[in-house]
Amino acid sequence: MFERLLIANRGEIACRVAATARRLGIETVGVHSDPDRNARHVTVVDRSVALGGASPATSYLRGDAVIEAALATGCDAVHPGYGFLSENADFAQAVLDAGLAWVGPTPDQIRLLGDKVAAKAAAEAAGVASTASIVVEPGDDVPDLPFPLLIKAAAGGGGRGMRVVESPDDFADAVASATREAAAAFGDGTVFCEPFLARGRHVEVQVLGDHHGTVLVLGDRDCSVQRRNQKVIEEAPAPGLANAVRSELHRSARALAEHVGYRNAGTVEFLVGADGTIAFLEVNTRLQVEHPVTEAVTGLDLVELQLRVAAGEALPLGQDDVRLDGHAIEARVVAEDPSEGWLPQTGTVRAFHGPEAVRVDHGLAEGTVIGTDYDSLLAKVIAHADDRTTAARRLASALETTILAGVGDNRGQLAATLRHPAFLDPEALSTALLDDAPELGEASLGDADETVAHLVALAILGRRNGATHGSSAIAGVPDGWRNLRTQGERSTWQPSGGGDPIDVELTADSRGGNFQGEVLVGPVPGVTEDGTLAADERRRLTTRLSVTAADDPSTHAALVELDGVARRVEVRWSSDGRDAPIIVATPRLVTSWQRTPRFVAPTGGSVGAGPVSPLPGTVLAVHASAGDSVEADDVLVVVEAMKMEHSIRAGAAATVSEVRVAPGDRVDAGDLLVSLDVADEGDRES
Amino acid sequence: MQALWDEVATELASVPGIGGQRYVDRHRRRGKLLVRERIERLLDPGSPFLELSPLAAWGTGDPVGAGVAMGIGVVEGVECAITGSDMTYRGGSANPSTVTKSERFYEIARQNRLPVINLNESAGADLPRQADIFVRGGAQFKHLTQLSQAGIPTITVAFGPNTAGGAYVPGMSDYTVFVAGRGTAYLGGPPLVKMAIDEIVDEETLGGAEMHARTSGLADHLAVDEDDALRITRQIVAHLNWSKRGPGPSLPADPPLHDPAELLGCASADVRIPFDIREVLARTLDGSRFEEFKPLYGDKLVCGWGSLCGFPVGILGNNGILFSEEASKGAQFIQLANRAEIPLLFLHNITGFMVGSKAEQGGIIRNGAKLINAVSNSTVPHLDLMVGASYGAGNYGMSGKAYDPRFIFSWPNHRIAVMGPKQLAGVMEIIARNAAAGRGIEVDEEALAGQTAALEGQIETESTALFATGRVWDDGIIHPADTRSVLGIALSAVHSGEIVGADSYGVWRH
């Protein structure tokens, strides 16, 4: 077995590989880009080598730098994870040429199977059903295939460089853009096209071969739900497959693996039509993102088996030893916010904690910056149970109780999907469930009442600045106490992953320590044009809150009773910072919030009508005229005073409403030179 | 008792909108917040706010509340005395009650060393009533500079006009914030300037916020709007580097074992029906803990030690009228509290000192003098809570208003007068009869009965809690169940200054 392993990847998969290596007593060396300098994957390896750069092409795709790092640190093997260099045959060859072991199939196998067109030929030769598939280049004629077509990167995976072409008119553009994207993502711009089977089930079979001729079939997986061909939810085993179809899939996968003498872990992908017809898609010559569901139902550590095979060991078990137990489902938590049109979300992770009851693979830590350089996968949550429905519920619940603050994500939608009848019924299950059920895209975590309970606990218990910031209030006097009440105590809370801030107003009618009274949730009525207040349309709830003992001194726990229904709610600060997200938890939902600053500091250094002359002097030049839009720091006027030139700049972005001086004018200190209409934007003040 | 509170609650509810809906709407239409909304925005999240004398001017003809809000709240962790004028009632102009109330405000700030925040906008004095305002009203500016001289910061935020004398409110303050386009300050407005020197000038040029920020230097900060002004004010308080001089709470602030909500039922609505003051203590003090001093001696004056919201406190509470023993016990207890530098809480339920030959021969004047000597010369903070009657010299012996307690709060059943209405009317009747007898005139029984009843009614009316609070004889009527919170805030406030005990007194008449 290896002594020291270089993990040529980042994020959750680098962490996951490192965990197995550590368990096996193998030293680990990581690599990292500049923005990943403080990433979790750097902290979980024994040491990590800086690759420089930020984009994949200047960092994790630099095979020579990776090999150099491995050699410099005395590694004897390289694990590529998935993505990046994992299916790059030249890189695999270079690793081998450098005298290092490659944790993956041989370069020839990668080349053969990674080329989807060649793979189809091999599949056909091995007796696996295959559909037509044509390599295309920008500028090619429209092929003679039934539309819609699917264009895919020959070298890729994960949907990058993938396009569905609905009509021949769109073909040329799609090929061109897919080629560009593939070249950027994988370093290889080859793309091919094949008939697009919109409603087929995407079923894949996990295989694992060693140097001794053993091929194991470790069951199948279904990429149950995708969104625009991006896998979102995966499970093992594939649900609703007839036994005959399942057997045929397993047989085909084994036949192909044996045909090519496959070594290490791979995945044979198929589309299965509603009638049970099987179309071979491709082979992924690497560990898959969704491998944990196979690990859950087989009880095997695929990375361990990969390492053993790569070290030349025989697989420690035979096909008869493979047992499939229960059902496992994986959900991919990505930094994409369905409620914001699936835009990739960027931000800094302020808190992350997955529930104990499930497996959570992630590369997150407090302070992890989610940028746009890498893919948007934040974490994978995997639930395992005796049956599919239980696994789905357990996973939904796990997603709802995962703490993730600071960046927008799709957990609400994942949980709603897992609870959706069309998901729970294998017959009705459609890969395109998300594309077909737009209401799922708007789903948020928890139901309205649950969220209100969180807000109430937050507004009452979160009044203090933080766990260790103490209270501004007077000991023994109830928070927010009034002897003459004109309005309730108002606060505004922002979900820390994004979304609209919510106003909460508390009106206590109790005089004791615990809160009892009315809570209003929703926008505070504003002042209308005639000075009266707008109609109050807030939700009104009779509330009682009694503080209960918490396990942890930094946590406030309380029973929150809303209109007669009580829930135990916990409120705690994710860290000590003054603006640290506040985590609110009920047994079935965890949310995180930040108090919206009560005051907004006006933009610009000086408020008021505009810049003034600093000294008595003469105007030398005027660089603005009425109606101009100016940015902060733009020079507006130059004044000569005390034999020096003074540039008078805009304090903030503004529109020039009036220029009050002309070159040659004498001005006095404090004279307003230019009237500005400052843009109505503000910086936040904590 | 509930009925008495309901009457108070109704009055309280009317105060924030006392200017009338039309003026409230007009105020809001101008993008302005009501004074109490400004205070709400200014305070820290979770901060309590104890509004003082909310029913000042009740029964005087001036608007209930006197057109000004004032109280104690926490801003950036600093307990401040906050006041603001209610622009919706006669343009925020001052009436005689406003002057009385604001005198009390500055007194509280000075005695308790509380930083002052003045959310100001006022048209100045209510001119037709200037005779009752002008002469004594000028003290406000003296108070501001004397506070400053004493090291107590003063911050004035100009939300609107600060006219004539009012211009000295920002002028005398340590810090000033002006709201752009809203806050103005000038000694004479455009009409007066025209009259006096025939200058025609607009308000902004004469005394606008921009002018004061850029030219005159009166405005330290120019705020873009009301919210910005409150933000700047909070920033100012944050940099004051303020710390309280008194010791912090040193004892557990656990709630009483008996429910404070029961306090409403503890006292008697009719002050003539006695109740045990220990019932109040059991529902007010931390953990209901009370270490009684001399329980077997002078038992009509209950004295002892306890704590409230963690602050140690010495308590004197009435369980009946004061005899010689009670008076000398109280005098001794006050001296002990001064030696230990512990604030004193006086719970008034007193109809006076004992009268009669036995009491006089027993030296009730001599012993009463000891109590008044101790009360007068005591230098630890005194807090008064009126839980019943406070009649006659009993009021003095219990550190009544004239003895400068730091705070006085009343329950709604409170009665205050030189003596009970019935006694007073009865005394007057006897005097009338004696006078008639001296002159040999027959008493007109019917007329005398009418006179006596009318007098009793008048005194009855003039001794109620509402009448007292309207004249700022106290700092507010409170719900009995709020006692702990109110006294807690007050005690915390008094600890903003040093707590120093007296080391000398007047000559004791032993």
Using the beta-carbon criterion (under 8 Å), do B488 and A486 form an inter-chain contact?
A: no
Chain A CB contacts of B54 under 8 Å are 483-484
Mean of pLDDT values over A310-318:
95
Strands B301-308 and B291-293: antiparallel
Nearest to A271 by CA among A322, A302, A229, A300: A229
Tens of pLDDT, residues A388-431: 999 999 999 999 999 888 888 889 889 999 999 889 988 777 77
A526/B contact by beta carbon, under 8 A: no
Using the beta-carbon criterion (under 8 Å), do A474 and B481 form an inter-chain contact?
A: no
Distance (Å, rounded) from C-alpha B240 to C-alpha B496?
A: 14
Distance from the A19 Cα atom to the nearest Cα atom in chain B, whole angstroms: 45
A 354-413 residues inside an 8 A Cβ radius of B: none
B 311-330 residues inside an 8 A Cβ radius of A: none
| Complex ipTM | 0.93
Mean of pLDDT values over A555-567:
87
A139/B contact by beta carbon, under 8 A: no
Residues A103 and A237 sit within 8 Å (Cβ to Cβ): no
Using the beta-carbon criterion (under 8 Å), do A601 and B231 form an inter-chain contact?
A: yes
Chain B CB contacts of A602 under 8 Å are 224, 228
Instruction: Calculate the alpha carbon distances from A626 to A409, A673, A675 in Å.
Output: 45, 12, 9
Distance (Å, rounded) from C-alpha A294 to C-alpha B475?
A: 74
Q: What are phi and psi of B21, to 5 degrees?
A: -60, -35
Strands B415-417 and B382-391: parallel
For chain A, the first-to-last Cα distance in angstroms comes to: 54
Nearest to B410 by CA among B394, B390, B391, B439: B390
Using the beta-carbon criterion (under 8 Å), do A483 and B479 form an inter-chain contact?
A: yes
Distance (Å, rounded) from C-alpha B424 to C-alpha B34?
A: 44
SS3 label, residue A541:
strand
Chain A CB contacts of B48 under 8 Å are 473-474, 477-482
Residues B29 and B87 sit within 8 Å (Cβ to Cβ): no
Q: Which helix (H) or strand (E) holds B202?
A: none
Q: Which residue type occupies A606?
A: S
SS3 content of chain A, % helix, strand, coil (to 5): 25, 35, 45
Mean of pLDDT values over B115-134:
85
Closest Cβ–Cβ partner in A471, A477, A532 for B489: A477
Tens of pLDDT, residues B26-35: 888 888 999 9
Chain B CB contacts of A471 under 8 Å are 46
Distance (Å, rounded) from C-alpha A392 to C-alpha A388?
A: 6
- Of A199-203, A558-562, B198-202, B210-214, the one with minimum mean pLDDT is A199-203
Distance (Å, rounded) from C-alpha B312 to C-alpha B287?
A: 13
Q: By percentage, how much of chain B surpasses pLDDT 90?
A: 73
Mean of pLDDT values over B26-46:
91
B 242-271 residues inside an 8 A Cβ radius of A: 249, 253, 255, 259-261
Mean of pLDDT values over A154-167:
76
SS3 label, residue A341:
coil
B 36-95 residues inside an 8 A Cβ radius of A: 36-37, 40-41, 44-51, 54, 74, 76-77, 79
In this prediction, residue B273 has a pLDDT band, given cuts at 50, 70 and 90, of confident
Distance (Å, rounded) from C-alpha A686 to C-alpha B228?
A: 13
In this prediction, residue A129 has a pLDDT band, given cuts at 50, 70 and 90, of low
SS3 label, residue A259:
helix
Q: What are phi and psi of B292, to 5 degrees?
A: -80, 140
A616/B contact by beta carbon, under 8 A: no
Distance from the A352 Cα atom to the nearest Cα atom in chain B, whole angstroms: 27
Chain A CB contacts of B264 under 8 Å are none
pLDDT of residue B214 exceeding 80, the answer is: yes
Residues B105 and B81 sit within 8 Å (Cβ to Cβ): yes
Residues contacting B343, CB < 8 A, separation 6+: B311, B312, B313, B314, B337, B380, B381, B382, B383, B491, B494, B499
Instruction: Count CB-CB contacts under 10 A for residue B106.
Output: 22
Tens of pLDDT, residues A583-623: 898 888 888 898 888 888 776 444 455 677 777 788 888 88
Distance from the B45 Cα atom to the nearest Cα atom in chain A, whole angstroms: 6
Residues contacting A10, CB < 8 A, separation 6+: A31, A32, A33, A36, A39, A41, A60, A81, A363, A374
pLDDT of residue A681: 44
Q: Which tokens in the block code for residue A465?
A: 């600045």
Using the beta-carbon criterion (under 8 Å), do A484 and B15 form an inter-chain contact?
A: yes
Closest Cβ–Cβ partner in A463, A484, A599 for B231: A599
pLDDT of residue A347: 85
Alpha-carbon dihedral sign for residues A427, A432, A433, A437: negative
For chain B, the first-to-last Cα distance in angstroms comes to: 42
Mean of pLDDT values over A537-552:
83
Per the prediction, chain A carries an average pLDDT of 86
pLDDT of residue B92: 79
Cis peptide before A148 (omega within 30 of 0): yes
Give the best residue of B29, B35, B76, B262 to mutate against chain A (max A CB count within 10 A).
B29
Distance (Å, rounded) from C-alpha A556 to C-alpha A59?
A: 44
B188/A contact by beta carbon, under 8 A: no
Residues A414 and A333 sit within 8 Å (Cβ to Cβ): yes
Strand partners, B150: none
Distance (Å, rounded) from C-alpha B494 to C-alpha B498?
A: 8
Strands A600-602 and A682-684: antiparallel
Closest Cβ–Cβ partner in A486, A531, A595 for B28: A531
Q: What are phi and psi of B458, to 5 degrees?
A: -65, -45
Q: Name the region of A261 (left: φ>0; alpha: ψ -120 to 50; beta: rest).
A: left
Tens of pLDDT, residues B48-68: 999 999 999 999 989 999 999
Using the beta-carbon criterion (under 8 Å), do A601 and B484 form an inter-chain contact?
A: no
Chain A CB contacts of B33 under 8 Å are none
In this prediction, residue A578 has a pLDDT band, given cuts at 50, 70 and 90, of low
Mean of pLDDT values over B131-142:
85
Tens of pLDDT, residues A230-289: 889 999 999 988 999 999 999 999 999 999 999 999 999 998 877 777 888 889 999 999
Residue located via tokens 């902004």: B204
Give the best residue of A474, A578, A593, A660 to mutate against chain B (max B CB count within 10 A).
A474
Q: Which strands form A629-630's sheet, in the order they lie side by side?
A: A629-630, A654-659, A674-678
- Of A80-89, A192-201, B170-179, B339-348, the one with minimum mean pLDDT is A192-201
Using the beta-carbon criterion (under 8 Å), do A477 and B260 form an inter-chain contact?
A: no
Q: By percentage, how much of chain B surpasses pLDDT 70?
A: 100
pLDDT of residue A686 exceeding 60, the answer is: no
pLDDT of residue A27 exceeding 70, the answer is: yes
Using the beta-carbon criterion (under 8 Å), do A472 and B12 form an inter-chain contact?
A: no
B 448-477 residues inside an 8 A Cβ radius of A: 476
Give the residue on A whose Cα is nearest the Cα of B41.
A598
In this prediction, residue A685 has a pLDDT band, given cuts at 50, 70 and 90, of very low
pLDDT of residue A467 exceeding 60, the answer is: no
Nearest to A407 by CA among A373, A442, A366, A435: A366
Q: How many contacts does A have with B, using Cβ atoms within 8 A?
A: 152
B369/A contact by beta carbon, under 8 A: no
Give the residue on A whose Cα is nearest the Cα of B15.
A484
Nearest to A45 by CA among A11, A68, A1, A72: A11
pLDDT of residue A605: 45
Distance from the B280 Cα atom to the nearest Cα atom in chain A, whole angstroms: 16
pLDDT of residue B124 exceeding 80, the answer is: no
Give the best residue of A458, A465, A471, A472 to mutate against chain B (max B CB count within 10 A).
A472
